[in-house]
């Protein structure tokens, strides 16, 4: 079973900033193994506030994230190879796009490298499944975002039996080795699995069918996928159990409340960036000399 | 001489929305050729408001831009090949990065494809100068942003004589042909040249030298470049004169006032997107049938 350390960062990053939410207070930290069969997708662990206070807090925390990201970017420009890679996984309608828009949208686009991994192209299928992933890894200083990722190759690929079990079965260890190398090369992985309930998904799909401005988000295949829900849960359980490592842990985020999952991912990113202990890069030139040159120019 | 149509869109997009700025009103439209030697970099053409009203207006216009961009993205997802490519050129400190942060930052990062073109790498130098550009062209539905571009190959390359005059001299026509093909394939080019005065640049460079959190933005070479100011002006004049076409016009934006240049580029993008006359894509499925399927799932 995977450890569920996700509520620690949200609580600790907030605590470090002395945020108490006007007396509402922070929730208890629940650490332990995650059993998806009993996972409460409507919970807001680590946070006792309501929607309104959650949204207000998110608005406050965006600039905090943005400042940290700018420092990461500045260090990257000065040659620091470190970067942060947010990996987003979740069933359709879980809110991955909303995270990109409302969390990543608060930072400078110059420092963001966003990649969405859909159904592989013909060219991608001719390569190893990590080929297209490696091509989109963030450079030093970047905040990379993977909307879906190499985990699709042990999720949809497994559920739909696109390769034999012994093939996908070998991928967990391979992914762990891949991610260990990534972290050794300077990448901080923030892996977020977003979980909605089958009912909440139904509501969100219905909204897409009721609003002509949302039709483009709807795919008839999404309904067929609902029939595979238990198989996906099993596949996600294995992902959490087998690929949540010390160097690249999974964070299982309840996603029935969009405001909560956005806040949680914001805090996870703030925490990841703080752990890099970034400072502004030192001048790689003599400041006083440059001031004189500038004055004379 | 290049036509200067840039003040038309800012005025017309605002007028279309009935924005009159609380009685401050919009400026007159000045159309005509641009003579950089007489270009007022501190002007705010097309806009009579002050900084405060400009910033307030920018905050209002971000969501307008964001809504239009979402429609572009939605159409791209439905197979529409059209896209918009913002090309940013300008001397150091002209504010290209600020445009990305404060204008592009208002739209969904999922639909943004940002590329910065610095000094070419060894690999890039072994290829035609358009090679690295072609690799980063936006796909259908994307809002591409080029922070510097192929125009560096008739600017810095010309000023520093990195290739002989007959080589860079041929590039203007080549760029025009390249851009015509791009527009024929569905790209709307928004080419923005940002101009600051030599004095304003000095102030901005001084700020970078006075603030340790800005050191990373300073490059000693920027001071040497100031000595080439007249050569750059000449090179920019040729760019405007020879590559401002009906299908891909240049917009020369005064950039001494950051709030103004951000507002101007926002309006240019709003105008470009409006001209695509985008609607939400029609459903590519039977909505009622899908509702029944969903209800039964």
Q: Do B294 and A206 touch (CB under 8 A)?
A: yes
Q: Do B283 and A215 touch (CB under 8 A)?
A: yes
% of residues, chain A, pLDDT over 70: 89
Taking only the tens place, the pLDDT of each residue in B29-75 is 333 467 888 888 998 877 878 899 899 999 999 999 999 999 999 99
**d(C-alpha A27, C-alpha A247), whole Å:** 26
Interface of A with B (CB under 8 A): 74-75, 77-78, 97, 100-101, 104-105, 107-110, 112, 114, 116, 145, 147, 202, 205-206, 209, 212-213, 215-218, 220, 223, 226-227, 280-283, 285, 287, 290-291, 293-294, 297
H helices within chain B, ranges in order? Answer: 7-16, 51-77, 96-102, 122-125, 131-135, 156-159, 165-184, 198-210, 221-226, 229-243, 258-275, 287-296
Q: Do B215 and A282 touch (CB under 8 A)?
A: yes
B224: nearest CA partner in chain A: A297
Contact residues, chain A, for B147 at CB < 8 Å: 110
**Model pLDDT, residue B195:** 94
**d(C-alpha B156, C-alpha B151), whole Å:** 9
Which of A66, A69, A109, A213 to mutate against chain B (most B CBs within 10 Å)? A109
Contact residues, chain B, for A145 at CB < 8 Å: 109
The whole-chain average pLDDT of chain A stands at: 89
Taking only the tens place, the pLDDT of each residue in A227-267 is 999 999 999 999 988 998 889 988 888 999 999 999 989 98
Q: Which residue has the tokens 């945020």?
A: A19
Q: Which of A116, A114, A157 is nearest to A138 (CA)?
A: A114
Which of B66, B97, B110 to mutate against chain A (most A CBs within 10 Å)? B110
**d(C-alpha A207, C-alpha B296), whole Å:** 16
Instruction: With a cut of 50, say whether residue B23 has pLDDT above it.
Output: no
Taking only the tens place, the pLDDT of each residue in A151-173 is 999 999 999 999 999 999 999 99
The SS3 of residue A78 is coil
Instruction: With a cut of 80, say whether residue A3 has pLDDT above it.
Output: no
**Structure token digits, residue B133:** 């550009």
Collect all residues with Cβ–Cβ distance below 8 Å to A134 and sequence separation of at least 6.
Answer: none
Distance from A146 to chain B by nearest Cα, in Å?
A: 10
**Model pLDDT, residue A34:** 75
Taking only the tens place, the pLDDT of each residue in B188-226 is 999 999 999 999 999 999 999 999 999 999 999 999 999
Distance from B29 to chain A by nearest Cα, in Å?
A: 32
User: Which of A101, A109, A220 lies at the smallest CB-CB distance from B104?
Assistant: A109
Q: Do A290 and B97 touch (CB under 8 A)?
A: no
Q: How far is CA B293 from CA A41, A209, A249, in A?
A: 24, 11, 37
**d(C-alpha A271, C-alpha A68), whole Å:** 10
**Model pLDDT, residue B44:** 86
Q: If pLDDT is split at 50, 70 and 90, which confidence band does B10 have?
A: low
**Model pLDDT, residue A29:** 32
Instruction: With a cut of 90, say whether residue B138 has pLDDT above it.
Output: yes
User: Which of A109, A205, A287 lies at the smallest CB-CB distance from B209?
Assistant: A287
End-to-end CA distance of chain B: 65
Contact residues, chain B, for A280 at CB < 8 Å: 212-213, 215-216
Question: How many residue pairs bridge chain A and chain B with CB atoms within 8 Å of each other?
Answer: 113
ipTM of the complex: 0.89
B226: nearest CA partner in chain A: A297
Distance from B224 to chain A by nearest Cα, in Å?
A: 8
Q: Which residue has the tokens 């029609």?
A: B282
Whole-prediction pTM: 0.91
């Amino acid at each position: 079973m995977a450890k569920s350390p996700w509520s620690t960062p949200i609580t600790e990053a907030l605590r470090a900033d002395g945020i108490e939410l006007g007396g509402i207070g922070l929730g208890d930290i629940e650490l332990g193994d995650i059993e998806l069969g009993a996972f409460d997708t409507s919970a807001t662990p680590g946070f006792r506030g309501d929607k309104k206070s959650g949204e207000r807090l998110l608005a406050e925390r965006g600039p905090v994230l943005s400042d940290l990201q700018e420092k990461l970017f500045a260090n990257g420009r000065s040659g620091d190879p470190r970067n942060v890679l947010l990996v987003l996984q979740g069933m359709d309608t879980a809110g991955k796009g909303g995270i990109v828009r409302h969390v990543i949208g608060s930072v400078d686009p110059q420092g963001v490298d966003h990649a969405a991994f859909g159904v592989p192209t013909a060219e991608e299928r001719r390569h190893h499944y990590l080929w297209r992933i490696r091509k989109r890894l963030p450079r030093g200083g970047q905040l990379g975002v993977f909307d879906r990722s190499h985990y699709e190759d042990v999720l949809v690929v497994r559920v739909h039996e696109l390769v034999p079990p012994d093939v996908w079965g070998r991928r967990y260890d391979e992914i762990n080795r891949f991610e260990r190398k990534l972290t050794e090369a300077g990448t901080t992985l923030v892996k977020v699995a977003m979980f909605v309930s089958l009912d909440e998904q139904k509501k969100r799909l219905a909204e897409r069918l009721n609003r002509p401005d949302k039709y483009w988000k709807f795919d008839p295949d999404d309904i067929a996928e609902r029939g595979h829900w238990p198989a996906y849960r099993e596949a996600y359980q294995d992902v959490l159990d087998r690929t949540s490592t010390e160097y690249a842990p999974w964070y299982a985020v309840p996603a029935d409340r969009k405001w909560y999952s956005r806040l949680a991912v914001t805090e996870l990113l703030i925490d990841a960036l703080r752990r890099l202990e970034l400072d502004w890069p030192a001048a790689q030139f003599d400041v006083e000399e440059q001031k004189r040159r500038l004055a004379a120019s």
